[in-house]
Structure 1
Amino acid sequence: MTLSRRGFIKVGGAAMTLPLLGGTAFGQAEKLKIGFIYVGSINDNGYNYAHNQGRLYVEENLGDAVETVFVENVPEGPDCERVVRELAQQGCKLIFATSFGFGDSVIKVAPEFPDVAFEHATGYMKADNVGLYNARFYEGRAVCGVIAGHMSQTAKAGYIGSFPIPEVVMGINSFVLAARQVNPEFTITPVYISTWNDPAKEADAARAMIDQGIDIIAQHTDGPAALQVAADRGIVGGFGQGADMSAFAPDTQLTAIIDHWGPHYLASAKAVLEGTWAPGDTWEGLKEDVVQMGPYHSKVPADVVTAAEAMRTGQIDGSVHIFTGPINDHTGTERVAAGVTMTDAELLSMDWYVEGVIPPA
């Protein structure tokens, strides 16, 4: 991962005294300082950009009651521990660590600052002052899969992934399950680039996929490089990840999965201000508006939009769950029986591919 100079960027106004509404250690009688840690740049036009929009959402809604700071381009590893500790030492009473690989650092530092509320995105380790939050990205990928199943001329998609962790595997599986409901011959080939954001690697992976006859590209990486390659090569299309990336590939993005973190960040900040914060464990999606779909491109046919909307609204009202059996794995072995829906615990530990996925060599 390419690192840039890292610094704290502070935004805030005059202090504002708020009444304490709770008696926990997290009650605040003065301006609340909130820290955010990003694995990439806020200008990646994807995942980190979306988290930063959530930070700005908090400022817009709470004004002078809060001061926010952020550190971008923090690699997953020992450097994160230093950053987490520095944010706490600088007076942050609420800290959001926004990448999976930050978990070990948060768990190590949190006991040193029992009066600080920590929240870790997409993680799994909790503590007395460490909560978890996540988004059901797989719901958006099911919508994208419906579009791909209808529009691909080769019935072949590629998926550029960061790491083969459950969150990413789940997204690959959701995409191809939805696509194969439309076209049972549909396949998807994942490629992992071992980073969340490396435009050169993303672009190279996209080129290699297109050379192999793939005409739809999806991704679980942070930037628009793959979409730009897709646009240059004139394939059917791809999907924005984390944010609307249509500005970078206006004729190629078919829709986008948009991460809308603002409501969660606002609720957590209010809870700390009111003294009611507790280490929760939330996993919200389309229904809660934490996952949103971007506009459908005009070249997506009306009947395909209708089908995509059926998938989107079905997941919202609970009538559709993409991980309901029968589901076979990529070897043809049944993993989920007919009529059975996988539990959240099973999804969050998913380490196998469904039928239609061509595993990486």
Structure 2
Amino acid sequence: MILRRTLLAAAATALALTSGAFADGHEKLKVGFVYVGSIGDGGWTYEHNQSRLAVDEAFGDKVETIYQESVPEGADAERVMTQMALSGAKLIFTTSFGYMDPTINVAAKFPDVKFEHATGYKTADNVSTYSARFYEGRAVQGHIAGKMTKTNKIGYIASFPIPEVIRGINSAYLHAKRVNPDVEFNIIWAFTWEDPAKEADAAKTLIEQGADVILQHTDTTAPLTVAAENEGVIGFGQASDMAQFKDGPRVSSIIDNWAPYYIDRVKAVMDGTWETVQTWDGIDTGMVEIGEITDRVPADIKAEAEAMIEAMRTGAYHPFTGPINKQDGTPWLADGEVADDGTLAGMSFYIEGLTGDIPQ
């Protein structure tokens, strides 16, 4: 197994120099995608599907892509993956954390099929993992939120208490608190990735509690729809740009750009160079993009956010740089110390200043 950082490949590069049956046109590579939500969610699954379409565009008739949307995490996922493999898919992307064990189980039954699992940590000879450093985008959002809140109350709609979500909460809070010592975070756990009604109810509750900034780690545009109905409330696009709200509450966004990775991995299967990797990329490679910061954000705050983005892009700044204590006050990172990837990957604690417990 090789730990690497993925090089972004242009579509033209992906098409060049492929070899073997796939390149010769004798066989079309069938690639499957398993989605936890609907392709119309406007966020997470929408962006994965846009990247699937980019694979189609990059390889043309050399590939056939198939997908199944709204697949629950569990036994249904194993059934869908198994069916894809039986139908001839030689590469399957499973795009949610809860697909981790189903992916490992099905991969063991189909050793000649390659699997790519998003945001998990378990690998096998034919299973790779990939994720994005969403917490970098959360740092930018936290900075803007901390500067722009008038009530000093920021609402956060969280999905499930897994490390990637906890990292995001901690990163957003840390950067909001650094620029606004009076800021408070109210967190609602929705226990869903995609449920517009639950997400909307959570946003309404947070606004009723005084929040004038809504952050979300759920997949639909429902929180922004609610924000648009409440004057003075701002929010951010999640996983996709959610640009339809640019003239309203959306002041920026985190965009997950999976397309270069998908193109790169499809090419690797085609030319026989695919091997198990663990990829965790961010702003520096373009896997994490920050959507346009609108003019609703004052120019000085926008400039500060853009400077932070550039510093993360060059590696000059890491969002988890000490001094930082854990929620109970015990030291975690000393002054200037940077968190290691192992701790971040398994993060299961809040940082100092956040209230409430992480659900079990």
Query: Same-fold call, TM > 0.5?
Result: yes
Deviations 1:59-95 (A, max 9, x none): 1111111110000000001100000000000000000
**Partner residue, 1:290:** 287
Q: Hey, what does 2:229 align to over in structure 1?
A: 232
TM value normalised by structure 1: 0.91
Bigger drift between 236-245 and 350-359 goes to: 350-359
CA distance in 2, matches of 1:249, 1:222: 17
2: distance between equivalents of 1:145 and 1:256?
12
For these two proteins, the number of residue pairs brought into alignment is 341
1:168 aligns with 2:165: yes
Is 1:34 equivalent to 2:35 in the alignment? Answer: no
The aligned residue for residue 8 of structure 1 is none
Shift of 1:160: 0.4
Alignment of 1:1-361 (within 5 A): 19-20=19-20, 30-248=27-245, 250-360=247-357
CA contact (8 A) 1:40 1:73 kept: yes
2: CA distance between counterparts of 1:236 and 1:229?
9
Would you say the 8 A contact 1:35–1:95 is kept in 2? Answer: yes
- CA distance in 2 between counterparts of 1:340 and 1:156 reads 29
Q: In 2, distance between residues paired with 1:123 and 1:295?
A: 29
Aligned-partner SS, 1:104: helix
The secondary structure found in structure 1 opposite 2:320 is coil
Measure, in 1, the Cα distance between the counterparts of 2:83 and 2:252.
Answer: 39
- How far did residue 19 of structure 1 move? 2.6
State the alpha-carbon separation in 1 of the partners of residues 303 and 245 from structure 2: 26
Mapped to 1, the partners of 2:283 and 2:298 lie a distance apart of 23
Instruction: Name the residue aligned to 1:5.
Output: none
SS for the counterpart of 1:217 is strand
Counterparts of 2:357 and 2:241 in 1: how far apart (Å)? 28
Q: Distance in 2 between matches of 1:28 and 1:84?
A: 26
1:10 matched residue in structure 2: none
Normalising by structure 2, report the TM-score: 0.91
Give me the identity figure in percent.
52
Distance 1:142 1:244 in 2: 17
How far, CA to CA, are the matches of 2:318 and 2:184 in structure 1?
20
Q: Could you tell me how far apart the structure 2 residues matched to 1:302 and 1:215 are?
A: 20
Deviates more, 1:245-254 or 1:106-115: 245-254
TM-aligned CA deviation for residue 355 of structure 1:
2.3
Report if aligned partners of 2:18, 2:267 keep a CA contact under 8 Å in 1: no
